[in-house]
């Protein structure tokens, strides 16, 4: 039987879980506006459960019982540095980071068969914008290392600091290898040992060509320099039209003339003002050579 103290603790936990398991419409609106301003992400009203599912354990960890109190903590916390950290934590929790190696494989086939010859061995810079945990960037790195006999570099960026940490380490659960062709698996992945035997690590020679940094696609991206190839895949689905417009203008400004932009197969640039981008094939665009 539980002691009186334990019963009190349990009642307290139940009360807290109860309070953090729902969010009022008004409080949801606060988070919805905040994540829209911060990351450009549009949460429809159907996403209330998602916000609760992703934030509730943080509230409990802090001993905060209502979403309103946590919002105040998040936005008016006195110490600016801690507030920034907490805000990054919420961005990490509210972004959706699903990805896998060689996702939308047709793009990799296109790169190999249409771009390598056109690049003719010149040094190439590629960008995995919205890289998530890095699988997209390393898939491209495997392809380039195996088939492109020129110098190349890949930059991966994301707004989520946690996924960037995983990306930089290049360590993945073994289960994630299923889309990596056998020949690349042998050449570029090492099985972990001991407590890490269920993981694979991308070899250093490949990782040394790939760097990851935080970037918000809504803000100026000029510091990144210019690229020959950009992946902007499966991120615009989270944006409304005005954010998409801002992002596509920013991203197009980072493409060299003649450079290639790949978007997700379920995404479209229809209805956006991006005349400097010419559609080559579904989901594949080229920046016009006379774009400046």
- Give the whole-angstrom CA distance, residue 103 versus residue 83: 35
Distances (CA, A) of 155 to 228, 231, 249: 12, 10, 19
| Dihedral angle computed from the Cα positions of residues 265, 270, 273 and 274, in that order, rounded to the nearest 10 degrees | 40
- Residues in the interface with ligand SAM (CB under 6 A) total 24
The answer to whether residue 130 forms part of the interface with ligand SAM (CB under 6 A) is yes
Residue from 56, 139, 234, 283 in contact with ligand SAM (CB under 6 A): 234
Residue from 160, 199, 283, 286 in contact with ligand SAM (CB under 6 A): 160
Q: State the minimum distance, in angstroms, from the CB of residue 41 to ligand SAM.
A: 6
The answer to whether residue 27 forms part of the interface with ligand SAM (CB under 6 A) is no
**Is 158 labeled as catalytic in the residue annotation?**
yes
The answer to whether residue 250 forms part of the interface with ligand SAM (CB under 6 A) is no
The answer to whether residue 283 forms part of the interface with ligand SAM (CB under 6 A) is no
**Is 219 labeled as catalytic in the residue annotation?**
no
**Residue whose token pair is 């990144």:** 224
Q: What is the CA radius of gyration of the chain?
A: 22
Sign, CA torsion 220/222/224/227: positive
- Give the whole-angstrom CA distance, residue 43 versus residue 61: 24
Site for ligand SAM in 186-225 (CB under 6 A): 216-218
Site for ligand SAM in 59-118 (CB under 6 A): 95-99, 103
Residue from 23, 35, 126, 159 in contact with ligand SAM (CB under 6 A): 159
Distances (CA, A) of 152 to 8, 14, 16: 62, 55, 52
- Give the whole-angstrom CA distance, residue 18 versus residue 16: 5
- Give the whole-angstrom CA distance, residue 95 versus residue 219: 17
The answer to whether residue 41 forms part of the interface with ligand SAM (CB under 6 A) is yes
- Give the whole-angstrom CA distance, residue 60 versus residue 223: 39
Nearer to ligand SAM, 86 or 136 (CB): 136
Q: Around 171, how many Cα atoms within 13 Å sit in the side-chain half-sphere? A: 9
Q: State the minimum distance, in angstroms, from the CB of residue 35 to ligand SAM.
A: 9
Residue from 32, 48, 233, 254 in contact with ligand SAM (CB under 6 A): 233
Select the span of 35-43, 54-62, 68-76, 81-89 touching ligand SAM (CB under 6 A).
Answer: 35-43
Point out the residues that are catalytic. Answer: 54, 158
The residue ranges that bind ligand SAM (CB under 6 A) are 39-41, 95-99, 103, 130, 132, 136, 158-160, 163, 216-218, 233-235, 238, 264
């Amino acid at each position: 039987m539980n002691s009186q103290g334990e019963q009190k603790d349990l009642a307290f936990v139940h009360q807290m879980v109860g309070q953090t398991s729902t969010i009022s419409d008004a409080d949801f609106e606060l988070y919805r506006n905040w994540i829209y301003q911060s990351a450009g992400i549009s949460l429809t009203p159907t996403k209330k459960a998602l916000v609760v599912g992703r934030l509730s354990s943080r509230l409990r960890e802090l001993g905060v019982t209502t979403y309103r109190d946590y919002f105040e903590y998040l936005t008016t916390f006195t110490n600016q540095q801690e507030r920034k950290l907490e805000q990054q934590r919420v961005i990490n929790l509210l972004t959706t980071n699903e990805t896998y190696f060689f996702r939308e494989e047709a793009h990799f086939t296109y790169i190999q068969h249409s771009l390598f010859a056109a690049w003719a061995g010149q040094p190439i810079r590629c960008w995995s914008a919205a890289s998530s945990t890095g699988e997209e960037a390393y898939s491209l790195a495997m392809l380039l290392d195996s088939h492109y006999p020129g110098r190349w570099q890949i930059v991966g960026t994301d707004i989520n600091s946690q996924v960037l940490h995983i990306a930089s380490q290049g360590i993945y659960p073994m289960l994630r290898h299923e889309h990596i062709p056998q020949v690349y698996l042998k050449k570029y992945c090492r099985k972990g040992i001991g407590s890490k035997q269920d993981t694979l690590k991308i070899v250093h020679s490949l990782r040394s060509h790939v760097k990851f940094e935080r970037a918000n696609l809504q803000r100026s991206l000029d510091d990144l320099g210019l690229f020959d190839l950009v992946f902007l895949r499966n991120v615009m689905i989270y944006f409304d039209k005005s954010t998409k417009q801002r992002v596509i203008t920013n991203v197009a400004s980072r493409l060299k003339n003649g450079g290639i932009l790949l978007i997700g197969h379920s995404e479209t640039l229809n209805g956006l003002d991006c005349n400097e981008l010419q559609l080559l094939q579904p989901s594949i665009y080229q920046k016009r050579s006379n774009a400046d």
